[in-house]
Amino acid sequence: MSDKEDIISVDYEIFGRVQGVFFRKYTQAEGKKLGLVGWVQNTKTGTVQGQVQGPSSKVKWMQEWLKTTGSPQSQIIKAEFKNERKIEGLDHKNFKVIRP
């Protein structure tokens, strides 16, 4: 039996006042602080979406942060998470902001 933590990947979309309030910058900083990799971007519909990968406990922490904290001026209405799965290796080298 291994006590090695699973590496997981999850996609997310955050709804509310999340554009124009440095949400992507804060998301990138929190992801890096936790040692996670992935990406974040604005959508045309006014949401922020992305993907986060890393040890399951750190990803869960990030999910909670995305649901409840965000950037100081953001107002999060809801957070949706989907496609959560175990992965063998990371698909990203760092945590980046994707700009249109």
Enter the tokens of residue 77. 């209405």
Active site residue 24: yes
Q: Which of 42, 83, 94, 99 is catalytic?
A: 42
Active site residue 42: yes
Enter the tokens of residue 41. 């971007």
Enter the tokens of residue 7. 């590496």
Amino acid at residue number 78 = K
Q: Which of 17, 24, 85, 94 is catalytic?
A: 24
Q: How far apart are CA 14 and CA 48, in angstroms?
A: 5
Catalytically active residues, by annotation: 24, 42
